[in-house]
Structure 1
Amino acid sequence: MTEQSWAAEAGLGRAELADGPAAVLFRPGATAAHIATVDGLAFTDLPALLEAAEGQSGRIQPGKPVALNEDALLSPVGRPRKIICVGQNYPAHSRETGRTSAPSYPDLFPKWDNALAGPYADLALPPESDKVDYESELAVVIGRRCRRVAAEDVADVVFGYTIANDGSVRDYQLHTPGRTAGKAWDGLTPLGPVVVPAERLGGVHPDLRVTGLLNGETVQDDRTSSMVYGVTELITYLTTFLTLEPGDLILTGTPAGVGAVRQPPRYLTDGDEFQVHIEGIGALCNRYHAEKRP
Structure 2
Amino acid sequence: MKLATIRADNAQLYGAILEDGFVNLTPDFPQWPTLYDAISAGGFDQLLSMAEGRTATHTDFTYEMVLPNAPRILCVGVNFPDRNAEYKDGSAQPKYMSLFPRFASGFTGHGQNLVRPPENHTLDYEGEVAIVIGKSGRRIAAENAYDHIAALTLCNEGTIRDWVRHAKFNVTQGKNWDRSGAIGPWLVPFTDPSQLDDARIITRVNGEVRQDDVLSRMMFPIREEIAYISTFMTLQPGDIIVTGTPTGAGARFDPPRYLKPGDVVEIEVNGIGTLTNGVEDEA
Structure 1: 5+ residue runs without aligned partners? 1-9
Answer yes or no: is the 8 Å Cα contact 1:215–1:272 preserved in 2. yes
Which residue of 1 is the match for residue 218 of structure 2?
Answer: 227
Report the CA distance between 1:146 and its aligned residue: 2.1
Q: Which among 9, 14, 26 is matched to residue 5 of structure 2?
A: 14
* d(CA) in 2 for partners of 1:66, 1:109: 39
1:143 to 116, 126, 134: 134
One-letter amino acid of the counterpart of residue 142, structure 2 = A
Contact 2:133 2:235 in 1 (8 A): yes
Helix, strand or coil for the counterpart of 1:65?
A: coil
Q: Please tell me whether residue 41 in structure 1 is matched to residue 29 in structure 2.
A: yes
In the alignment, residue 234 of structure 1 is paired with which amino acid?
E
Q: Is 1:26 the equivalent of 2:14?
A: no
- 1:78 paired to 2:74: no
Ranges in structure 2 where 5+ consecutive residues have no aligned partner: none
Residues 104-126 of structure 1 show CA distances to partners (whole Å, capped at 9, x for unaligned) of 11100011111111111022211
SS at match of 1:164: strand
What's 1:217 paired with?
Answer: 208
Local SS of the residue matching 1:148: coil
Partner of 2:175: 183
CA distance in 2, matches of 1:231, 1:57: 26
> For residues 271 and 59 of structure 1, what CA distance do their matches in structure 2 show?
36
1:17 positional shift: 2.5
Structure 1 CA distance for aligned equivalents of residues 205 and 10 of structure 2: 35
Aligned: 1:199 with 2:191: yes
**Structure 2 partner of 1:90:** 80
Aligned-partner SS, 1:236:
helix
Partner of residue 6, structure 1: none
Letter in 1 for 2:88: G
2:13 touches 2:26 (CA, 8 Å); kept in 1?
A: no
Aligned partner of 2:79: which letter? N
Q: CA deviation at 1:31?
A: 3.9
By how many angstroms is 1:65 displaced?
Answer: 3.4
Cα distance in 1 between the residues matched to 2:153 and 2:245? 14
Q: Which residue of 2 aligns with 1:4?
A: none
Quote the RMSD (CA, aligned, Å): 2.1
Shift of 1:58: 7.8
Q: SS of 1:156's equivalent? A: helix
Residues 41 and 237 in structure 2, CA contact (< 8 A), matched pair in contact too: no
Percent of aligned pairs sharing the same letter: 33
- SS of the residue corresponding to residue 254 of structure 2 reads coil
Alpha-carbon deviation of 1:57? 6.8
**Corresponding residue number in structure 2 for 1:3:** none
Query: Contact conserved, 2:146 with 2:193, CA < 8 A, in 1?
Result: no
Q: Tell me the SS of whatever aligns to 2:88.
A: coil
Deviations 1:91-110 (CA, angstroms, capped at 9, x unpaired): 11111222532221110001
Are residue 53 (structure 1) and residue 42 (structure 2) matched? yes
CA contact (8 A) 1:141 1:249 kept: yes
Paired residue secondary structure (1:160): strand
| Counterpart among 109, 127, 131 of residue 100 in structure 2 | 109
Shift of 1:55: 5.2
- 8 A Cα contact 1:275 1:286, kept in partner: yes
Going from structure 1 to structure 2, the CA distance change for 1:247 and 1:34 (only over 3 Å counts) comes to: same
- Shift of residue 22, structure 1, vs aligned partner: 1.8
> What is the alpha-carbon distance in structure 1 between the residues aligned to residue 57 and residue 33 of structure 2?
15
2: distance between equivalents of 1:152 and 1:206?
13
How many Å apart are 1:21 and its aligned residue?
A: 1.4
Aligned to 1:248: 239
Contact 1:56 1:159 in 2 (8 A): no
